[in-house]
């Protein structure tokens, strides 16, 4: 049922989710990331499946291959499927007893649940025997598949120093198949994505691997709450509980178990955790220089498997160590385990094919990011590479883009900003929240004072100048800073000048910009025309009023004349009538 690893690697990029942040490049210890068209894709042949990118990706674009559907199908098919659960389950589910975890897995359909730590005990017994012989100067542990892959690919000259022993998981699979039959299926559950590579390489031993995150999702889908279950007598680990092997998930745990299996005083033992730590310690190392045999427990994850890429992150790492130590049953007397011989394996190197470039080619790539001289090489690490030359190598190999260089982008942006700032004919000024000049162009300096223009020649940009000492209207900039809104004045009259002003926020509340144009020369003719038009209108109104007045006088005189004429032509009235009127009065 194993997937073909060529179809999808253990760790891959969900390209639709990638946000072009390059954080995975900065954190990947082997730079197994290719950035093209703003997308950061994992390069499978360079990847060691340490899972660092999975943990640090803020967009969840780096993912561990999900084999959950295949395992569900396997369990529902009626096959006898056994779960090999990593000993770090103790820190992953700290408040849930192991019997409840077993009951939950059995309810999902597993025929039985066994501890991977059983295989770890067998590995320690066999390694202790090899160390007692002292035939080599350097022994590198084979327990961590990511660390082993790193040695194979990046330090291939040390591959023959890796102990010829299966990993604890593969050793456990060997034990389970011997005990339950070779027709049994085995699924690993743990915090590690690199275990999927073991399933891909050894389908005859391990059918598939899922993560603790996958298990949580599976339980959620089936509406199973382990804490709410009531375990029965059959809910126990098979074929038996692990003892000292439960120490493996923490740094130094493997060494502790080896010391319980015999006298290894002739061999020094140290633990190195983290791919970068392994590289730092072993790069260029010559085993022949060792004064006595040295065993190195190599772990890809700092702190051990309890900090695996697919483990649930918790505060208080020391508490997790205590939980693991308390779970382990460490015997007081030395152990007398008979080492198995069917769990031996020889690890071969798998060196990467690296492309070498000449100094001239490197210099040409550096020029693409404006690194003309050695002092231009900041080696800031913003691109994700330790040095500018490493970045140039990545550009030449097609694994990086020039846009990943932050200093280059900043300079490009500054150049464009300067070009706009100094080429636009209008006066431009940027001010901070204290109304001090951040930057400006010469046109701004020339707009208000010849002395200010001379000052600009000595101090380009007038950085730090107090705005109210330059502009007659600084209150407009304060208003824009306080409101965060854009202010516009098409014709602001200041004494005998007229300005067109646009003030806009750049960093609201902190930096604002202004574009100012003196439009006096353009506006004055319009003002004159408007004034002349007003004068003509006034004269016309006055004329109309005078005409109206004359018309009124003429009409009055005409009315008087007509009345007098009318009375002159009227017939004479009788005298009697006049006498009667007098009497009536």
Gap between the Cα atoms of 464 and 456, Å rounded: 12
Q: How large a percentage of the chain has pLDDT more than 70? A: 87
Report the pLDDT averaged over residues 159-168: 95
Through-space distance between the first and last CA atoms of the chain, rounded to whole angstroms: 140
Residue 316 has pLDDT above 60, yes or no: no
Which CATH number is 424-518 given? Answer: 3.30.450.20
Residue 488 has pLDDT above 60, yes or no: yes
Q: What confidence tens digit (pLDDT) does each residue in 390-424 have? A: 999 999 998 988 988 888 888 888 788 777 777 78
Q: Give the residue with greater pLDDT, 323 vs 154.
A: 154
The token pair that represents 226 in the structure block: 């382990």
Report the pLDDT averaged over residues 525-546: 61
CB atoms within 10 A of CB 202: 18
pTM above 0.85, yes or no: no
Least confident of 51-55, 508-512, 530-534, 538-542: 530-534
Residue 576 pLDDT? 46
Least confident of 120-129, 209-218, 336-345: 336-345
Q: What is the DSSP letter of 85?
A: E
Gap between the Cα atoms of 103 and 232, Å rounded: 8
Burial 466-495 (b: 16+ CB within 10 A, else e): ebeebbebeebbbebbeeeeebeeeebeee
Residue 339 pLDDT? 80
Residue 451 pLDDT? 85
Residue 539 pLDDT? 63
pLDDT-derived band at 565, boundaries 50, 70, 90: low
- Cis check: omega of the bond before 214, within 30 degrees of 0: no
pLDDT-derived band at 354, boundaries 50, 70, 90: confident
Domain regions of the chain by residue span: 66-327, 359-410, 424-518, 523-584
pLDDT-derived band at 1, boundaries 50, 70, 90: very low
Radius of gyration of the chain (CA): 44
Residue 407 · residue 49 · CB < 8 Å: no
Average pLDDT across the chain, whole number: 87
Q: How far is CA 247 from CA 51, 90, 91, 147, 326, in A?
A: 22, 11, 12, 18, 9
Gap between the Cα atoms of 208 and 292, Å rounded: 40
Report the pLDDT averaged over residues 127-151: 93
CATH class of 359-410: mainly alpha
Gap between the Cα atoms of 480 and 90, Å rounded: 58
Could you please report the per-residue DSSP string of 494-547? ETTEEEEEEEEEEETTTEEEEEEEE-HHHHHHHHHHHHHHHHHHHHHHHHHHHH
Residue 543 pLDDT? 59
Residue 355 · residue 394 · CB < 8 Å: no
Gap between the Cα atoms of 448 and 446, Å rounded: 6
Gap between the Cα atoms of 255 and 21, Å rounded: 39
Residue 2 pLDDT? 44
Residue 168 pLDDT? 97
Could you please report the per-residue DSSP string of 2-42? PPPTTTS-SEEE-GGG--S--HHHHH-TT--EEEETTEEEE
């Amino acid at each position: 049922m194993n997937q073909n690893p060529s179809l999808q690697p253990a760790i891959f990029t969900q390209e639709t989710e990638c946000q072009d942040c390059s954080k995975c490049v900065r954190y990947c210890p082997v730079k197994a990331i290719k950035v093209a068209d703003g997308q950061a894709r994992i390069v499978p042949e360079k990847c060691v499946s340490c899972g660092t990118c999975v943990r640090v990706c803020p967009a969840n674009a780096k993912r561990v291959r999900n084999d959950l559907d295949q395992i569900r199908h396997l369990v529902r098919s009626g096959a006898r499927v056994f779960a090999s659960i990593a000993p770090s389950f103790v820190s992953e589910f700290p408040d849930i007893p192991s019997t409840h975890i077993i009951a939950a897995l059995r309810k999902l359909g597993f025929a039985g649940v066994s501890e991977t730590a059983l295989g770890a005990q067998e590995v320690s017994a066999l390694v202790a025997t090899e160390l007692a012989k002292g035939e080599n100067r350097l022994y590198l542990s084979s327990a961590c598949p990511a660390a082993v892959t790193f040695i194979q690919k990046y330090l291939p000259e040390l591959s023959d120093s890796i102990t010829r022993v299966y990993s604890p998981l593969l050793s456990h699979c060997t034990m389970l198949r011997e005990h339950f039959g070779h027709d049994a299926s085995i699924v690993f559950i743990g915090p590690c994505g690199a275990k999927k590579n073991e399933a891909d390489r050894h389908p005859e031993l391990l059918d598939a691997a899922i993560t603790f995150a996958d298990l949580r999702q599976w339980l959620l889908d089936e509406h199973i709450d382990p804490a709410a279950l009531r375990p029965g007598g059959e809910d126990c680990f098979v074929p038996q509980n692990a003892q000292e092997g439960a120490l493996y998930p923490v740094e130094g745990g493997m060494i502790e178990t080896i010391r319980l299996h015999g006298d290894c005083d002739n061999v020094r033992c140290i633990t190195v955790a983290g791919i970068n730590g392994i590289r730092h310690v072993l790069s260029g190392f010559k085993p022949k220089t060792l004064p006595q045999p040295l065993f190195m427990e190599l772990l890809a994850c700092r702190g051990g498997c309890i900090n695996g890429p697919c483990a649930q992150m918790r505060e208080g790492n020391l508490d997790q160590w205590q939980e693991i130590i308390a779970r382990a049953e460490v015997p007081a007397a030395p152990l007398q385990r008979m080492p198995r011989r069917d769990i031996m394996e020889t690890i071969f190197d798998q060196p990467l094919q690296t492309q070498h470039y000449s100094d001239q080619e490197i210099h040409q790539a550096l020029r693409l990011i404006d690194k003309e001289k050695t002092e231009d090489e900041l080696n800031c690490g913003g691109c994700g590479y330790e040095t500018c030359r490493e970045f140039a190598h990545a550009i030449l190999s097609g694994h990086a883009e020039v846009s990943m260089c932050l200093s280059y982008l900043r300079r490009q942006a500054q150049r464009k900003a300067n070009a706009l700032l100094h080429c636009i004919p209008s006066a431009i000024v940027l001010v901070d929240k204290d109304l001090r000049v951040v930057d400006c162009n010469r046109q701004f300096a020339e707009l208000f004072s010849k002395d200010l223009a001379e000052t600009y020649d000595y101090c380009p940009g007038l950085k730090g100048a107090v705005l109210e000492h330059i502009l007659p209207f600084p209150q407009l900039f304060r208003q824009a800073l306080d409101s965060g809104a854009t202010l516009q004045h098409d014709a602001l009259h200041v004494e005998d000048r007229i300005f067109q002003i646009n003030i806009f926020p750049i960093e609201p509340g902190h930096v604002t910009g202004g574009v100012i144009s003196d439009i006096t020369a353009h506006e004055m003719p319009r003002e004159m025309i408007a004034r002349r038009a007003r004068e003509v209108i006034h004269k016309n109104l006055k004329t109309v009023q005078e005409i109206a007045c004359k018309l009124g006088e003429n009409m009055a005189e005409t009315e008087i004349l007509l009345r007098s004429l009318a009375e002159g032509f009227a017939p004479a009235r009788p005298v009697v009538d006049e006498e009667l009127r007098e009497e009536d009065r």
